Copies of this chain bind each other. A is one copy, B any other.
């Protein structure tokens, strides 16, 4: 079971911007920090901006900052949105003959709900209470 790279990068961006919240950060800086392609990050930041997690400012002194408090960034919402609508098992891709009759779907849906329910207990604020994680994100470790 895997989350997409897009979700991975979405969370990393939020952690970085949130920890450096006293200033505007740049795409290049995040790309450099994590060693990730700036093009991948651009899509992530665009999506996070559209959904009001981040605010972006253009221009020479432009950059990225949070658009809402980290206490209002629920892990379930972030992951569900970044993952999109893709199902756990893609029954349609190979046109499985059991589609419409298959009991597996109910069990998987129930399991996925349990997964999301756990994530719903956590916000980005909760995760960033970890001092070592904050120090690493501030490059002061």
* A136 interface hit (Cβ, 8 Å): yes
Scan residues 46-84 of chain A and give those whose CB is less than 8 A from a CB of chain B: 75, 79, 83
A130 CB to nearest chain B CB (Å): 4
| Given the contacts A103-B128, A107-B118, A137 and B88 also touching, CB distance less than 8 Å | no
A115 in complex: contacting residue of B11, B86, B115, CB < 8 Å: B115
Give complex CA distance A84, B129 in Å: 32
Tallying the copies of this chain within the complex gives 2
Give complex CA distance A34, B99 in Å: 11
* A103 touching B127, Cβ below 8 Å: yes
* A130 touching B101, Cβ below 8 Å: yes
A129 in complex: contacting residue of B88, B102, B103, CB < 8 Å: B103
Residues of chain A whose beta carbon lies under 8 Å from any beta carbon of chain B: 1-4, 7-8, 11-12, 15, 33-36, 75, 79, 83, 86-90, 94-98, 101-104, 107-108, 110-112, 114-119, 121-122, 126-130, 132-133, 135-137, 141
